[in-house]
Structure 1
Amino acid sequence: MTDFRLLRAGDSAVVVEFEERIDPAINMRAVRLAAALDGARIAGVLDVVPTFRSVTVFFDPLRTEYVQLTRFLDEQARQPGFFEDNQPTPLRVPVCYGGEFGPDLQSVAEFAHLSPEEVVSVHTGTTYRVFMLGFLPGFAYLGSVDRRIAAPRLTTPRARVPRGAVGIAGLQTGIYPADTPGGWQIIGRSPVLPFDLSRPMPFLFEPGDQVQFVAIDRTEYGRLHM
């Protein structure tokens, strides 16, 4: 397939851009290409950033030959293996829904014409893909949310959303890794943080991971949060 293009981004970066839509198969191609670049250890490549539908490669122009790099990218993006997705075992993430932890759960329920309990059931009944990391260290854009509960962002963002908050914004859901302003509909909170420097592996998620949310009560939240 040749449904991608190479775009130069200044003298020290190049973007491989796939189709202009959000789709798990397209995202898988970006994730696979990023992994191939990491594995190749090309001299002068400084960073590789996969997104929903593209990969940006940052490099040192004094150490990396642009023509050779783009040739490698072109060859790898055409490999048949880039169209096969081996589904990893989903990561199970606990969430305490509603109450003070989920101030927007009732609003999402009203949007969906469901009860709060049904919203939780739908949210936990879906397996989500980590499309990309961004916004804050460790923040994973997870999709796709069941359209029944795909409530839009808040009209007025909050000045502070606590770390661990689980939100919905359209077809996306995610966990805030730190206290920050935010406009997503907050339906719960997880005691497991997406980014924690005290862990041997600070980042909980990587692009391409599969995630499932598991409902817990306040007692279990307190036990896991300690």
Structure 2
Amino acid sequence: MKVRLSILLVLIMVLGFNANLYAYNYQSLENYISYRIKYIHNIAHNGNITLSKVRVREYAKDIIYWSDYYSRELQVNIDPLLVTAILETETNFVSREDYDSGASIGIASMRIDTAKWIAKRININYNKWDVLDPTGLGIRFAVYYLGLAYNKYNGDIDKIIVSYNQGFAKASSKDLDQLYNNYLFKVLGRYNYYQQRIRSYDSTIDNYFAYKLAKLD
């Protein structure tokens, strides 16, 4: 009886950690993230290649998939919209190899030493080209890092965001006033905006953002 109860409690905990992912309708989430990526990528100052609508859907699906995957594995609650807000703030969804004078690469502008550290932690081979590929390791590594931050800071969104930009050590050492820097405002602004947008159309949202995506060149 005690064993069964323990198993039940573990299942409740694991399922509970993923509640936020199910607060969004999957298709609505995919349509909105796809639209946002395409819209921003089209007007990005740092990109010179066209991103197809098929490709943006692959990006969106990867963001949602890895958010769910690492939420379960790390027993946290990673919001795909927060991942999207950080990627937009970092690179406008443009994957390049010359961010920070070559020290950071990919759609998440991740430092190469951090990418190598993550590869070692999850026991896969580091490959520069896989990190440059958003649906290779680019998005996956960013979500994994954020999952660690969710764990470290017990879901404190401010510190999670700052840690992505400045590292765990600096985020841990800052007080509330120091945390509220320009980067944090940019990410929070986008994150809050996304949440408002995705919740503002109720039952029509699936068709609305699919339509908006279809209208983009």
Task: Sort the TM-score into its range (normalised by shorter chain).
Answer: under 0.3
Query: Which is richer in strand?
Result: 1
Tell me the TM-score normalised to structure 1 length. 0.27
Query: Which is richer in helix?
Result: 2
Tell me the TM-score normalised to structure 2 length. 0.28
